[in-house]
């Protein structure tokens, strides 16, 4: 009898211990909740350059172990150069309560105006300290950090490049979209640089396709003109128009990014954008793993590239000097 009671007590103890362990096992087998990322960009969705950048960001996340549809859900919003739309989309994304928002380029400001709580990682911003977004590059503080591009002094390099590749240019038209506040910093640099390279600079505000056409038509009324569009989402959206008009009017032209000469523009000098977007994924990863954006230092672009479309140069009757071609990272023939 005592033996049976002992066996029964052992069985009850064993069963009770196993039962107590079951919830622990069940909890251990529960998958972690899917994390939510908002992506806000002022670029157009149906654009090869836009897709390449966001593709690099997604690739960066995948290499860090975040698979879309499994560990993460990504909500995309494409403003296509429309700042009002960017503000509306920023409000939509914040309302979804994401774990982090990735925003680029000027869309970062729209996101920041909507929330001081949701972490924001940006890419392709020039002066986050000067714009008052962060306290410093080393310790941003607040809810935003990311990957900056170049300093405004690069605008002088664009003018030097234009003069090197087209020595006969004496007048340069700089077109810019006032919705992108960076123009305020580029213009003084270019005004100061123009006389040193033997050029006179004029500046035209453009807000749409018609403005771009008007500004370029005004430029070609005089001789020896050249063209530099300041970078902005508007210029990205209308880059085919700008390149086409420059070709039609035989205007030497210089740009900030590689995708212009790749598509028929003359030359560009600037950062490697795809690399910047890929690197931005590392900060999204660190925030999802618990780090605070205010503790992550803002990083600068590390890869710059000079690109010349030699076919376009020949069509414009230009013969880039060997010394310039020797420094070129990519020559398109």
* CA–CA gap between residue 181 and residue 14 (Å, rounded): 71
Residue tagged 């600068």 (tokens) = 300
The first and second tokens of residue 223, run together, are 């001789």
* Total-model pTM: 0.85
**Contact partners, residue 313, CB within 8 Å, separation at least 6:** 165, 266, 267, 319, 320
From its phi and psi, is residue 228 left (phi > 0), alpha (psi between -120 and 50) or beta? Answer: beta
pLDDT tens digit at each of 333 positions of the chain: 444 444 444 444 444 444 444 444 444 444 568 999 999 999 999 999 999 999 999 999 999 999 999 999 999 999 998 989 999 999 999 999 999 999 998 899 999 999 999 999 999 998 899 888 999 999 999 999 999 998 899 999 999 999 999 999 999 999 999 988 889 999 999 999 999 999 999 999 999 999 999 999 999 999 999 999 999 989 999 999 999 999 999 999 999 999 999 999 999 999 999 999 999 999 999 999 999 999 999 999 989 999 999 999 999 999 999 999 999 999 999
Which class would CATH give 154-271+305-332? alpha beta
Q: How far apart, in Å, are the Cα atoms of 285 and each of 57, 211, 329? A: 11, 41, 31
The rounded radius of gyration (Å) of the Cα atoms in the chain is 27
Which sequence spans correspond to the domains of the chain? Answer: 35-151+273-303, 154-271+305-332
Q: Could you tell me how far CA 227 lies from the centroid of its own chain?
A: 23
Closest Cα to residue 155, out of 185, 124, 114?
Answer: 185
Same fold? 35-151+273-303, 154-271+305-332: yes
Which class would CATH give 35-151+273-303? alpha beta
Q: At what angle do helices 107-114 and 83-95 cross, to 10 degrees?
A: 40
* CA–CA gap between residue 176 and residue 159 (Å, rounded): 15
Q: How far apart, in Å, are the Cα atoms of 217 and each of 243, 247, 257, 278, 296? A: 13, 13, 23, 38, 46
Backbone phi, psi, residue 191, to 5°: -60, -40
Q: Could you tell me how far CA 301 lies from the centroid of its own chain?
A: 11
């Amino acid at each position: 009898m005592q033996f049976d009671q002992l066996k029964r007590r052992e069985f009850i103890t064993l069963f009770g211990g196993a039962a107590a362990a079951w919830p622990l096992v069940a909890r251990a087998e529960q998958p972690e909740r899917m994390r939510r990322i908002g992506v806000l960009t002022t670029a157009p969705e149906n654009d090869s350059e836009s897709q390449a950048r966001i593709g690099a960001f997604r690739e960066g996340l995948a290499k860090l172990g975040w698979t879309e549809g499994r560990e993460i859900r990504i909500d995309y919003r494409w403003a296509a150069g429309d700042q009002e739309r960017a503000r509306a989309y920023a409000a939509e994304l914040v309302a979804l309560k994401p774990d982090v928002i990735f925003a680029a380029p000027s869309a970062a400001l729209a996101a920041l105006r909507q929330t001081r709580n949701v972490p924001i990682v940006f890419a392709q911003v020039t002066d986050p300290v000067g714009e008052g977004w962060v306290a410093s590059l080393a310790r941003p503080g607040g809810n935003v950090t990311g990957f900056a591009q170049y300093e405004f002094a690069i605008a002088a390099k664009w003018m030097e490049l234009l003069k090197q590749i087209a020595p006969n240019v004496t007048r340069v038209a700089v077109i810019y979209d006032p919705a992108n506040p960076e123009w305020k910093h580029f213009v003084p640099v270019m005004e100061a640089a123009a006389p040193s390279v033997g050029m006179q600079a004029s500046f035209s505000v453009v807000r749409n396709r018609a403005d771009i056409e008007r500004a370029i038509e005004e430029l070609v009324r005089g001789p020896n003109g050249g063209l530099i569009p300041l970078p902005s989402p508007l210029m990205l959206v209308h880059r085919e128009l700008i390149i086409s008009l420059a070709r039609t009017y035989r205007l030497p032209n210089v740009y900030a990014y590689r995708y212009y000469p790749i598509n028929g523009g003359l030359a560009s000098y600037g950062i490697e954008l795809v690399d910047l977007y890929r690197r931005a994924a590392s900060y999204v990863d660190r925030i999802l793993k618990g780090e605070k954006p205010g503790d992550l230092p803002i990083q600068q672009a590390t890869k710059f590239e000079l690109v010349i479309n030699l076919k376009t140069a020949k069509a414009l009757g230009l013969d880039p000097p060997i010394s310039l071609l020797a420094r070129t990272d990519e020559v398109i023939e």
